[in-house]
Amino acid sequence: MPDLLSTSVSGLLAFQQALDVTSNNISNASTPGYSVETANLAEAPGQQTSAGFVGNGVDVQSITRTFNEFLAQQVRSSQASYSSSNTLATQAAQVDNMLSDSSTGLPATLQSFVNSLQTVATTPTSTAARQALLSQAQALAQQLTSYDSQISQFGAQLETQVSGDVSQINTITANIASLNQQIATASSAGQTPNQLLDQRDQLITQLSKYVSVQTNTESNGAMDVYVGTGQALVTGASASTLSTVPGTYDASQLGITISGGGGTKANITSEISGGDLGGLLSARSQVLDPARNAIGQVSVAVATIVNQQQQSGMDLTGAQGQPMFSVGGVQVLPSSINTGSASLTVTRGALSSLTADNYRLQSSGGSWQLTDLTTGQPVAMTGSGTSGSPFQAAGLSIVTSGAAASGDSFLIQPTAAATAGFAVTLTSPAQIAAASLVQGTAGASNTGGATVSGAAVTHPSAWVSDTYTVTFAAGNAYTVKNSGGTQVASGTYTSGTPISFAGAQLTLSGSPAAGDTFTVGLNNPANTGDSSNLLAMTTALSAAALNGGTTSVTGAANSLVSRIGLVTQQAQSNATAQQTANQDATTALNNSSGVNLDQQAASMLQFQQAYQAMAQMIQASSQMFNSLMTALGNA
């Protein structure tokens, strides 16, 4: 039955608990992740009397926390985006700084080499100038291989960070699963474990620094956590485990698998996004791999153009020029899950068709399909894949051998390993082929106005050393014969158009007369002042020889630097924007769920006064009881 004492005691206890909650709020005002708590008071059920229902005091119905899940999701999302962009920007900046340096960057290094070529072309007999060119070639080789080595180091560091992130994620998800179990147990007993909920929310926010996640709350209070396209990291009290595994083709590049209680593993590398882990994977695919391939393409282009021109010229000893550079070959990596016995031999073909993309050659239904992994598009091939008729595609020649099982595949990297093998092969300044290998002379009895503008070997592999005679007939018709009198070419001369034959060409100016002859033969070794071959080399290096004849070597180098710089700039801009968004979302969440000291101070005064009032009511009850006992004692 309600009475003054019991009603007052209920109020005293309720306001004491409310003061305890307020005290806890104030104590945790600066605690990260703490959500302000509220003691929710409710009127105790009344007691029916003849005069009506009389109140029985007050109860603390529950202690709840103020938490805005929508704002929390915004914090996690912006945190994941910021971490990803910031990591990508940091990784890209390393490569950007390396390649764009004004003195040691890629364009500057190439330009120094070209400048040395031009210096020798000005003074082809200068031993000092030739030695400087050879030294600059060594510097170019050292700088290119240094780029490749540094990118490899960046890659190794990145893989270490990937492993570290995976370990951190597993630790966090295990703790979330443990908290889920505790929360579900407490919730089943009708309690709201606010402290455990705060700890779990804080862990999920921490998890979003490593990877983007989605969440779903179960009816028992447990929270499921998902990654990628819906792979469960945490389900109730169970946590899946992420693992790093060697890449399918390149064991040094780690993939990421997820395994649950059944032990089945699924590779989710391509589905990871956001957070530091997503940023690392983006840096690998958008910066490190493309940069290595593009530098390799430049290395192949320099070696191919310079070597071909060297072989088109005559060195200081009168001998045909030898290659100046060596370069690494095409890298072919079989899939680790191949079951057949097939193998590939891949070589480079036309420089203009060579790209910096990677390709996958896969066996399916008894045939091979080639896919460009950068664009994701199939690539048409000609040939049958045999040594006599190799597959031809994307500037590559592919020969298959052995028996492939359906589904077997190979990763083909045309330029990734090129730079590691880039080196200078010349040992003496005299080996620099400054002069043209051949020279053209006009017949002494010519009557027309044509004169020799130049003669050069254009295709060293097709050139047969000999003396060739070009004879004109009426209508500018001509024939070309070797020293044995065998005709090797014929045609109609057009002013300004070179006459090509046997891997060489003759360029005339003016109009020849019928009967005029011109001879093309080996250059005179005494012609040491000739620098036409080096001039042709500098022209070839600046010509559009790459990407289908649209890009020069220096253009490709500048394009790479610009591309990496753009990735860096965009990532930095995104990181700044997402950091601001995260700060705003965090502020909004703190304003909603955090402790307001002014509000808590007001509540403290309110509950303190109520507590004091209840104490006075208990005192009044005691006095009334004493008065009653005194009156009864005197009766």
Per-residue pLDDT tens for 515-539?
Answer: 999 999 999 888 878 899 999 999 9
Angle, alpha carbons 11-12-14 (nearest 5°): 60
**Does residue 171 share a domain with residue 36?**
no
Which band of pLDDT confidence, cut at 50, 70 and 90, is reported for residue 310? Answer: very high
**Does residue 45 share a domain with residue 11?**
yes
86-98 burial, b if ≥16 CB within 10 A, otherwise e?
A: bbbbbbbbbbbeb
1 pLDDT more than 50 = no
CB 79 within 8 A of CB 209: yes
**Is the pLDDT higher at 21 or at 376?**
376
**Does residue 486 share a domain with residue 617?**
no
In a domain, 407, yes or no: no
pLDDT at 19: 85
555-566 burial, b if ≥16 CB within 10 A, otherwise e?
A: bbbbbbbebbbe
**Does residue 606 share a domain with residue 581?**
no
**Does residue 58 share a domain with residue 83?**
no
Those residues with Cβ within 8 angstroms of residue 34's Cβ, 6 or more apart along the chain or in another chain: 28, 198, 594, 595
pLDDT at 495: 84
CB 259 within 8 A of CB 173: no
Mean pLDDT on 172-182:
95
What is the DSSP pairing of strand 391-393 with strand 438-442?
unpaired
Which band of pLDDT confidence, cut at 50, 70 and 90, is reported for residue 262? Answer: low
**Does residue 145 share a domain with residue 101?**
yes
Which is nearest to 451 in space by CA: 516, 380, 407, 399? 516
pLDDT at 625: 66
Count CA atoms within 13 Å of residue 260 on its CB side: 11
Angle, alpha carbons 445-448-452 (nearest 5°): 85
Which band of pLDDT confidence, cut at 50, 70 and 90, is reported for residue 261? Answer: low
pLDDT at 110: 95
What pTM value is reported for the model?
0.88
In 373-486, DSSP assigns E strands to 378-379, 391-393, 396-401, 409-413, 423-424, 435-436, 438-442, 451-457, 468-472, 477-481
In a domain, 86, yes or no: yes
**Tokens of residue 431, six digits:** 């080996």
Q: What's the whole-number average pLDDT of the chain?
A: 91
Those residues with Cβ within 8 angstroms of residue 332's Cβ, 6 or more apart along the chain or in another chain: 344, 345, 346, 410, 411, 412, 413
Give strand pairing partners of 38. 64
Residue 271 DSSP code = G
**Is the pLDDT higher at 98 or at 20?**
98
pLDDT at 69: 87
Which is nearest to 532 in space by CA: 171, 156, 120, 145? 120
Query: What's the CA gap between 22 and 39, in Å, rounded?
Result: 8
479 pLDDT more than 50 = yes
In the chain, % helix, strand, coil (3-state, to 5) comes to: 45, 25, 30
pLDDT at 2: 58
**Is the pLDDT higher at 61 or at 532?**
532
**Is the pLDDT higher at 547 or at 328?**
328
**Tokens of residue 543, six digits:** 């010509």
**Does residue 243 share a domain with residue 101?**
yes
Which band of pLDDT confidence, cut at 50, 70 and 90, is reported for residue 617? Answer: confident
**Is the pLDDT higher at 78 or at 630?**
78
In a domain, 566, yes or no: yes
**Does residue 497 share a domain with residue 569?**
no
In a domain, 170, yes or no: yes
- Amino acid identity for residue 133 in this structure: L
In a domain, 323, yes or no: no
Query: What's the CA gap between 191 and 90, in Å, rounded?
Result: 46
How many residues appear in the chain? 635
**Does residue 247 share a domain with residue 129?**
yes
With 0-12 / 13-18 / 19 or more C-beta atoms within 10 angstroms meaning exposed / middle / buried, residue 438 is: buried
Give strand pairing partners of 314. 320, 435
**Does residue 193 share a domain with residue 114?**
yes
Which is nearest to 213 in space by CA: 120, 121, 123, 276? 276
Ranges of H-type helices in 286-379: 289-311
In a domain, 336, yes or no: no
Residue 566: what are its φ and ψ, rounded to 5°?
Answer: -70, -45
CB 249 within 8 A of CB 243: no
189 pLDDT more than 70 = yes
Structural domain span for residue 59: 4-66+594-634
pLDDT at 464: 92
Mean pLDDT on 248-265:
86
Those residues with Cβ within 8 angstroms of residue 17's Cβ, 6 or more apart along the chain or in another chain: 39, 60, 63
In a domain, 49, yes or no: yes
**Does residue 186 share a domain with residue 163?**
yes
pLDDT at 178: 95
pLDDT at 199: 93
- The sign of the dihedral angle between the CA atoms of 419, 425, 431, 433 is negative
pLDDT at 306: 97
Residue 284 DSSP code = I
Which is nearest to 296 in space by CA: 434, 80, 79, 148? 148
Number of domains in the chain: 3
Q: Minimum mean pLDDT among 46-55, 157-166, 392-401, 587-596: which range?
A: 46-55
536-554 burial, b if ≥16 CB within 10 A, otherwise e?
A: bbbebbeeebbbeeebbbb
Which band of pLDDT confidence, cut at 50, 70 and 90, is reported for residue 158? Answer: very high
**Last-in-domain residue among 522, 542, 571:** 522
pLDDT at 263: 67
**Does residue 559 share a domain with residue 601?**
no
Query: What's the CA gap between 414 and 292, in Å, rounded?
Result: 11
Query: What's the CA gap between 310 and 319, in Å, rounded?
Result: 11
In a domain, 533, yes or no: no
**Residues 572-612: tens digit of each pLDDT:** 999 999 999 999 998 898 888 888 888 888 988 988 888 88
Residue 546 DSSP code = B
CB 374 within 8 A of CB 360: no
**Tokens of residue 115, six digits:** 């400048």
